[in-house]
Structure 1
Amino acid sequence: MISIILAAGKATRMGATTQPKVCLDVGGLPFVVRAIETYKRCGIEHHIVVIGDRADEVAAAVCRYFPSTIFAYQAEQRGTGHAARCGAAVLEAFGYSGDVMIVVGDKLVTEAVVREQIELFHSSGADLCFMVGPKDSFPHSGRVVEDEDGAVLGVVEVSEIKRACLIEKLLDEGRKGALSADRIRSETIAAFSTERKASRAVPILWTLLEQRSDIGPDDLTRCFTRKETILEFERADGKRRQFRVSGLEQQTSVANLSVYMFRTDALFYGLGRLASLNAQGEEYLTDVVGILASARTDDGSPRFRVVPYNLKEPTDGLTFNTPEELEAIRECLKRKAEG
């Protein structure tokens, strides 16, 4: 097995830092270096690190400890799926056909958990085995959608749920008359945390908000359709299942934790079918889960086997997006070392 580590993002929620996010110190080592050490102890000897923002600094930090690391460059931050394709291009160039682990660079997983996931990946005959955990412990992670039998159908990012909820709310309220543009603007920014993300999530509406003081029902129906509040997945028996996106929070219990183990044919199949038709206009690696789960052979049978690995202890698979979350990881490691 070889790893592809996604470390190209800008980490805007960390604020100004003297080092790239994945190079911040955790227990005396850069975060990404500590992660690679864990993977090597689990028998994953070769690593491709996808770099982009502050690329030279990330490469220097990794090479100080692992000089034989291969790097792939993501020139534009166009999402985790695009970053994974940058890394997978290296595999294709070398003609690699073994197993692949893809993981984000700000993920810290214990050795025991990585070994358990590898074991499940092999013993289950999975084409994709991906880590999941209780959504209450990982509120910002994509929601795993399952059918009534517990089979995985796909993953929906929190930003997509927020967008669908916003659209549904606006269309419902818009039936009663015009809505204040200022109010819509503030609610949209609150949903997506920044004005930039809000404008990317609802670009047509955002243009109207800059031009009008009120947004009428006809304006809203030109911006959105009810179809945008519905997701459709294909089950293993070939039947299609629809979900109201706004109801997914009540219908899902686990979140995707962004540790994926692939057979190469499944990886290339999924990456080759990614699109960027989502709230942020990016390619989401999480979409590969649904792509593989719904893929069929010519006779209609499932083409790939998708298996979730359930993380039992949330502190065994941590990530961070803010200084406070990083400090919590440091404290967690300190407690484990002491106890």
Structure 2
Amino acid sequence: MYKCAIILAAGEGKRMKSTTPKVLHKVCGKEMVNHVIDIMRIADLSDINIVIGKGADKVKESTRFRDVSYSYQDKQLGTGHAIICAKEFLKHKKGIVAIFNGDVPLMRAETVKKLIETHENNGYKCTIVTSLLNDPTGYGRIVRREGVVDKIVEHKDCNKEELSINEINAGIYCFDIESLVKSLDKLNNNNAQGEYYLTDVIEILRSEDNTVGAMIVDYEETMGVNSRVELAEVEKILRNRINKKHLENGVTLIDAENTYIGADVQIGQDTIIYPGNAIEGKTVIKENCVLYPNSRIKDSIIEQGVSIQSSVILESHIGEETTVGPFAYIRPESTIGKHARIGDFVEIKKSTIGDNTKVSHLTYIGDAEVGEDCNFGCGTVIVNYDGKAKYKTKIGNRAFIGCNTNLVAPVEVKDNSYIAAGSTITNEVPEGSLAIGRAKQKNIEGWVDKKGLKK
């Protein structure tokens, strides 16, 4: 059977007090709406439409790589109106549509699958996700008759008996598409707010003797975000859930409450992570690594056996058994080889560093190809920018770069060559050569006394 999803993401979210659309606020490093999209994908809902409104261009920009379509809600006139705006997406479709809010990042994919199965197996025209609350004040109540849903009653409209009901509407639905589209044509906004409510579709379906079901879900999964306080609560829940998954998979987190791992990060067994680390994006950390405190790693691949101390690694690849840091900065598009050493206060930018090469301290390498078994002395700088353009530097295998060397790009240093400390190199260094690019030392005897500078 055909299955699709509509995600409601048109609201402004005034209580967030932000110029960023509510659904683009991040939870564990990923926008809430992208959490929802990814959950739908895992649940085998491949055809996804997002209803956008406030901040539409920003939402499109943030979701552009996720293969979704869009419907536009120019005025926020209720949830029913949002689905009316998506009628073109539903046109000529037969099957099931799941409707979710874009600010519900805690829903599990297996719960979405169960919702669809419940809907299909029972032949419902609509299935509502509900939760049980000890204090349901303010929520619409689910009134059942013989196990199925009879109606949804808003809190303010409940009688005494209905107020005692603790099953509430979570605002997440699964509909038969054709029944939903027919019901949308019958929706009206004859209420105090002048809005179209999706919950009114339930009443329309029931009035036509259609069966409406409900599936009870843990309230935590249905939590929406309407304020920074709720954002922080959801962040904490999802972070704990992510960290627990890694612990169960054989990763050691020394202090899980102070370790920040993104939702899409992969970590191998027997890796040890100390507190204060922030691991973001699509990062993959393989087996037997050690991340000492206070590093940031984003969208990078860290091969097995790597040790990292207090460093920043962005969109790069670190080879097996390499050590990084403390206080190293590896910028995007860098590849570090196996058994290499990137030490303290070293910056690597858009460069390749070969196996067994040591860049131990106080060095900048930018736009360079560096071979294997090289050694960089303290204070080496690759001068890659002339004020107008960036140029490339090539360094062969087994090169030795003396301390305080400037390599002025474009320049090439061949295999097995040495550069004397304090040199500025502007021309090619031939294989097996010693390059010296500094002024000859000159001593002026008696100069201090002559200038009267002796203390």
Q: What is the TM-score when the length of structure 2 is the normalising length?
A: 0.51
Higher RCO, 1 vs 2 (CA within 8 Å, ≥6 residues apart): 1
SS in 2 for 1:102: strand
Contact 2:150 2:212 in 1 (8 A): no
Supply the distance in 1 between the matched residues of 2:71 and 2:108 (Cα, whole angstroms).
Answer: 25
Supply the distance in 1 between the matched residues of 2:104 and 2:96 (Cα, whole angstroms).
Answer: 20
Contact 1:154 1:287 in 2 (8 A): no
1:307 counterpart residue number: 213
Shift of 1:132: 0.6
Compare the two structures and name the one with the higher strand fraction.
2
Supply the distance in 1 between the matched residues of 2:154 and 2:103 (Cα, whole angstroms).
Answer: 18
Shift of 1:246: 4.3
Unaligned runs of 5+ in 2: 245-455
Supply the distance in 2 between the matched residues of 1:88 and 1:137 (Cα, whole angstroms).
Answer: 36
1:252 counterpart residue number: 165
SS in 2 for 1:307: strand
Which of 229, 238, 261 in structure 2 is aligned with 1:333?
238
Judging changes above 3 Å, is the alpha-carbon distance between structure 1 residues 53 and 136 closer, same or farther for their aligned structure 2 residues?
Answer: farther
RMSD: 1.8
1:82 counterpart residue number: 81
Judging changes above 3 Å, is the alpha-carbon distance between structure 1 residues 126 and 268 closer, same or farther for their aligned structure 2 residues?
Answer: same
Supply the distance in 2 between the matched residues of 1:261 and 1:269 (Cα, whole angstroms).
Answer: 15
Contact 1:153 1:294 in 2 (8 A): no
Larger radius of gyration: 2
Shift of 1:32: 0.3
Contact 1:131 1:259 in 2 (8 A): yes
Shift of 1:279: 3.4
Deviations 1:148-199 (A, max 9, x none): x3431221334xx1xx5xxxxxxxxxxxxxxxxxxxxxxxxxxxxxxxxxxx
Supply the distance in 2 between the matched residues of 1:156 and 1:100 (Cα, whole angstroms).
Answer: 23
Give 1:4's aligned amino acid.
I
Contact 1:110 1:317 in 2 (8 A): no
Structure 1 vs Structure 2: percent identity of aligned residues?
A: 30
Contact 1:3 1:101 in 2 (8 A): yes
Judging changes above 3 Å, is the alpha-carbon distance between structure 1 residues 138 and 36 closer, same or farther for their aligned structure 2 residues?
Answer: farther
May I ask how many residue pairs the two structures share in their alignment?
A: 241
Superposed, which structure 2 residues align to 1:53-132 within 5 Å?
A: 53-63=54-64, 65-66=65-66, 68-92=67-91, 95-108=92-105, 109-132=107-130
Supply the distance in 1 between the matched residues of 2:76 and 2:139 (Cα, whole angstroms).
Answer: 19
Shift of 1:137: 6.3
Unaligned runs of 5+ in 1: 165-244, 296-301
Superposed, which structure 2 residues align to 1:319-330 within 5 Å?
A: 319-330=224-235
Which of 202, 207, 211 in structure 2 is aligned with 1:289?
202
Superposed, which structure 2 residues align to 1:75-224 within 5 Å?
A: 75-92=74-91, 95-108=92-105, 109-136=107-134, 139-147=137-145, 149-158=146-155, 161=156
SS in 2 for 1:319: coil
Deviations 1:117-149 (A, max 9, x none): 1111111111111101114466443222234x3
Q: What is the TM-score when the length of structure 1 is the normalising length?
A: 0.67
Shift of 1:268: 1.1
Supply the distance in 2 between the matched residues of 1:308 and 1:249 (Cα, whole angstroms).
Answer: 17
Give 1:101's aligned amino acid.
A
Compare the two structures and name the one with the higher helix fraction.
1
Give 2:15's aligned amino acid.
R
